[in-house]
Homo-oligomer: A and B are copies of this chain.
Amino acid sequence: MLNRLEDSAAIKAGDARIAFTTDSFVVDPIFFPGGDIGKLSICGTINDLVTTGCRPIGLSFSLIIEEGFPVSDLEKILGSIKSTLDEAGVEVFTGDTKVVEKGSADRLFINTSGIGIIGNGINISPRNIEKGDKIIINGPIGDHGTAILSRRKEFDFSSDIKSDCAPLNILVSDMLKASGKIHALRDATRGGLATVLLEISEQSGHSMDIWAQDIPVNDNVLGICEFLGLDPLYIANEGKMVSFVPEPDAHKVLKASKANKYGKQASIIGEVGPRSKKGVILNTDLGTRRKLDYQYGEQLPRIC
């Protein structure tokens, strides 16, 4: 099951199908513009869950705390967890706390796992995508990774970039109401949009074309990426859902996305090509076609 490499596993349990996912969060710094490790841990797991089209029913929450971690910071983080759960309408059902000696962990690590119920008839998987599907993203890319980077000790430059960290379950539910035919959904976290598209291309066996001019990127993110020689296509996001939608329904899904607060800048960024021709082509503004590749070496550590 693990080698399917999707964001969530789908498990048969009697009549029900259960989505199940886990993530450990080791982000550094733990407070960053637009969020903190607590909000991130809730959003990350909710967003992985909903890539199956499931209704999230509950999360687990487990803390590893370094001895001496300030109680006031812990309270701040628990507060942001609570408000994220309230916004998403999701509950924490089970938890665990471990404390380790000073020096045995870097302040605070959080694991969240999550379960959801996949409704009858819902079948969302990269395996379902077809030639002609439109590729939609719900907004600008690269905000999370560059926001984290801007606060790292080794950089620490001033910028107004905020992480896009957000729970996307309501957005996805709005999209699914707009079309019952969404083929695949993927949370564009570690490795960014490019990595996610490359993985889906491999899993589905389909090629894809994307158009640079249609991919939203904020100017402040572009500026930092140019300055540091980074490519926003490979920068992590924490509130970006990539969807694959048959052409006839693509505009309905786009419209539903734009009506949600986390989808205002949603855009159709590309199209699925024929099967048995894997690969992702970036069509640039200059009219060139660039074949994308994995860039694992350039990924930042502890981005989530």
Contact = CB atoms under 8 A, between A and B. Distances in A.
Interface of A: 1-2, 8-9, 11, 13-16, 18, 20-26, 28, 57-58, 60-64, 91-96, 98-101, 103-106, 109, 111, 113, 115, 117, 301-302
A171 B302 CA distance: 41
B104 A106 contact: yes
B62 A94 contact: no
Contacts of A28: 104
Contacts of A99: 301
A130 B101 CA distance: 41
19 contacts: A1-B92, A1-B93, A8-B94, A9-B94, A11-B57, A13-B57, A18-B57, A22-B61, A22-B113, A23-B62, A23-B96, A24-B63, A24-B64, A26-B64, A62-B111, A64-B109, A100-B301, A105-B106, A105-B109
Given A62-B23, A100-B301, A117 B14 contact: yes
A91 B111 CA distance: 19
A106 B99 CA distance: 12
B26 A98 contact: yes
Nearest to A44: B96
Contacts of A21: 60, 94
Contact of A24 (B1, B23, B62, B115): B62
A22 B111 contact: yes
Contact of A2 (B94, B104, B115): B94
A109 B197 CA distance: 31
A129 B11 CA distance: 33
Contacts of A24: 62-64, 96, 98, 109, 111
A155 to B, nearest CB: 16
Closest 8 pairs (CB-CB, A-B): A22-B60, A113-B113, A111-B111, A104-B106, A9-B93, A9-B94, A24-B62, A26-B98
